[in-house]
Structure 1
Amino acid sequence: MTDQGTNKTGFARDDELKREMQGELKASRAVRVEEEMEPQPSGEDQPLAESAPAAAVPAGMTPEGVSLRSDLARHLDRSVYPARRGALLAALHRHQAPDALVDRVSALPSDEVFPNVQAVVQALGYGVEKPRP
């Protein structure tokens, strides 16, 4: 079968390149022999370089609340809303959510209907994002 896309190397070479790169992508140490190929640390007068910049925290929320909202949104589709606790738990199990997230959602009241992720976060006792003036 031929490759109909714009791929210049072909699927077999792509798989080979993925296998070659796995060690570099998963390593927590230097993997190159030549020192000049390694990323350089920040200078003395420079701010520390971060692999991922810190996320902005909206007014009215805490960093933990933002993280929880993000985790819930990652594991719950929009199509599940409006939902009760049972539907939320079923969706979390279907998406293989972490146990800590499932435990938090299982503490919600079973008779309340949640229209969106923001309502779930608020019911869990975290602040909600305040609208901008």
Structure 2
Amino acid sequence: MSVGMERGSSKHSPRVDDNMSQDVSGLVQGPGAGGSRVEEFRQPEPAGEDQPEPKTLTAGASRGGNPQGMSMDEVEARSRLGKFITMTALPGDRDALLANARENQAPADVIASLETLPDGTHYQTVSEVWAALGGKNETTRW
């Protein structure tokens, strides 16, 4: 009576063949196979006990903090104003700024602020408009 092999391999035992097939299943079956070793290296390691968790930084913070003479709130408020006053309105006076802000769907508080600007004054930059509205701009670093 001859004993037939359950597997087609003459080099390994059935147990070794099973282990080897599991080792390559991620390569053969692709990423959806689950438990794939191929995917393990793509997972970031968690921070160690003595390491801080990664945090998302604001644009200002990643550039070294707030400009000298301005708080983060002031930077954000001036930036918000700049979203509604585009370069096509500058240089411009109050009416040009208001028209541009309305075209850009500026909220009521921005429109109300721009309406307080004096008539006949031309502004070259958003920073000039911001200063005319009572905002602080960065101080020059010499």
TM-score, normalization by structure 1:
0.58
CA distance 1:68–1:46, shift in 2 (3 Å): same
> Cα deviation per residue 1:31-81 (whole Å; 9 max; x = unaligned)?
xxxxxxxxxx98876556544437231112222321122112222221211
Report the equivalent of 1:79.
88
Asked which structure has the greater CA Rg, the reply is: 2
Question: What is the aligned counterpart of 2:58 among 48, 53, 69?
Answer: 53
Report the equivalent of 2:128.
119
Report the equivalent of 1:100.
109
Report the equivalent of 2:118.
109
Range with greater deviation from structure 2 (120-129 or 97-106)? 97-106
* Preserved contact between residue 85 and residue 105 of structure 1 (Cα < 8 Å): yes
Aligned CA-pair RMSD: 2.8
Report the equivalent of 1:89.
98
TM-score, normalization by structure 2:
0.54
* Preserved contact between residue 65 and residue 121 of structure 1 (Cα < 8 Å): no
Aligned residue-pair number:
98
Task: Give the share of equivalent positions with the same residue, in percent.
Answer: 34
Report the equivalent of 2:78.
69
The CA distance in 2 between the partners of 1:112 and 1:124, in whole Å, is 13
Which structure 1 segments of 5+ residues have no match?
A: 1-40
Matches within 5 A, 1:20-31: none
Which structure 2 segments of 5+ residues have no match?
A: 1-45
The CA distance in 1 between the partners of 2:128 and 2:118, in whole Å, is 12
2:91 aligned counterpart, secondary structure: coil
- AA paired with 1:100? D
